[in-house]
């Protein structure tokens, strides 16, 4: 039943005069008004260290919705306290967290944008200071916490000793699955339209996927089937509580960027994407790397990860949608990504930090101001 529901995807038929970037994307019964998505970007701004959204989050996310982005995704939002990267990370593990996020989703929706939440667990990359405080590992005695992973190997910090890492046993794995399920329920209560499972960038679910970090010999390790089991079970748990008419995304690292090691590859990502489509996932958010400090991209230039999204889109047997991220900085780039059928959504990160109004700027530069509403308060300036 879920697999059938996942097939309710329309890539949007656009009139001949419409730019591809401003064509709608229909996923189940959710219509994303254009193909620009704000990439999840950590803000490390819960100053009370309680995971509760603040005015910063409302301003950060709300301004991108005012700026016209079709889908605004939260930062990696921890499904449990020990799943935070830093003490200042956003969380979604209680009713209180949902209540703090609800005004944000309401505001995003009022701007005719779609609110999405990335459900995350940092695994062995947890318990560190935020970047501008030093980014050093935090020990339990210093306000940190014991971290978990598929194996007991800690993150290999160059400076500073990693906090203790505990390999999850069966009870621990079931508790993590339950945390994702409960977090999805809280996210739904908060008013989110899209739930994204974070299985990229070297965090817990990616740690299970990659043979670089997964040395288990039980049902959650070993071959492809074992290493992908937790991602599939968590995604199933999220899909079961997320309404059938609303989409679920999964962000993956298409490659570990470690070609000289036994590691996660694009071929693995293609295979996993088909398995996720069977579960009921609607879009694969394609990123890369993060599993190890030596994991580095081949070329950190414009569209440097687009080839991975394109390959997944071309080689999967399902009709699952694909989002591309990485070095998309101009309206012309974003338009070309969609117009040339290389991906179904242009996921823009750092350029949205530089320009919250990226999408409205794109409409003006692409001569498409008649294809986007824009806030009436700003129309005189934008020429809408």
Give me the catalytic one of 44, 203, 308, 357.
203
Residue 308 is a catalytic residue = no
- The answer to whether 140 touches 146, Cβ cutoff 8 Å, is yes
Cross-strand pairs, 118? 76, 196
> Is the CA virtual torsion 87, 90, 94, 99 positive or negative?
positive
Active site residue ranges: 203
């Amino acid at each position: 039943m879920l697999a059938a529901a996942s097939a309710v995807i329309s890539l949007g038929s656009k009139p001949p005069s419409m730019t591809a970037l401003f064509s709608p994307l229909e996923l189940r019964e959710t219509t994303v008004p254009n193909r620009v998505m704000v990439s999840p970007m950590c803000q490390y701004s819960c100053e009370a260290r309680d995971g509760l959204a603040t005015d910063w989050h409302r301003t950060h996310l709300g301004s991108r919705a005012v700026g016209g982005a079709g889908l605004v995704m939260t930062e990696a939002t921890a499904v449990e306290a020990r799943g935070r990267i830093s003490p200042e990370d956003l969380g979604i593990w209680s009713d209180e967290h949902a209540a703090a996020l609800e005004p944000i989703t309401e505001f995003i929706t009022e701007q005719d944008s779609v609110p999405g939440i990335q459900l995350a667990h940092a695994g062995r990359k947890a318990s560190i200071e935020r970047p501008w405080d030093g980014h050093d590992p935090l020990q339990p005695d210093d306000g940190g916490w014991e971290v978990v992973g598929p194996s007991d190997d800690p993150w290999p910090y160059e400076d500073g000793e990693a906090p203790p890492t505990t390999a999850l046993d069966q009870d621990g794995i079931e508790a993590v699955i339950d945390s994702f399920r409960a977090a999805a329920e809280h996210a739904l209560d908060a008013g989110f339209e899209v739930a994204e499972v974070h299985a990229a960038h070297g965090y817990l679910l990616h740690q299970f996927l990659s043979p670089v970090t997964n040395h288990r010999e039980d049902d959650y390790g070993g071959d492809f089937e074992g290493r992908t089991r937790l991602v599939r079970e968590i995604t199933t748990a999220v899909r079961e509580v997320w309404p059938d008419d609303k989409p679920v995304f999964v962000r993956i690292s298409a490659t570990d960027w470690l070609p000289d090691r036994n590691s996660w590859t694009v071929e693995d990502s293609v295979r996993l994407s088909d398995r996720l489509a069977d579960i009921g996932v609607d879009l694969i958010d394609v990123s890369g790397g993060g599993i190890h400090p030596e994991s580095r991209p081949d070329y950190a230039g414009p569209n440097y990860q687009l080839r991975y999204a394109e390959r997944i889109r071309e080689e999967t047997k399902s009709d699952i949608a694909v989002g591309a991220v990485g070095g998309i900085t101009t309206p012309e780039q974003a338009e070309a990504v969609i117009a040339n059928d290389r991906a179904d959504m242009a996921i823009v990160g750092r350029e949205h930090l530089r320009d919250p109004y990226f999408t409205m700027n794109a409409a003006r530069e692409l001569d498409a101001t008649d294809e986007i509403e824009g806030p009436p308060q700003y129309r005189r300036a934008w020429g809408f």
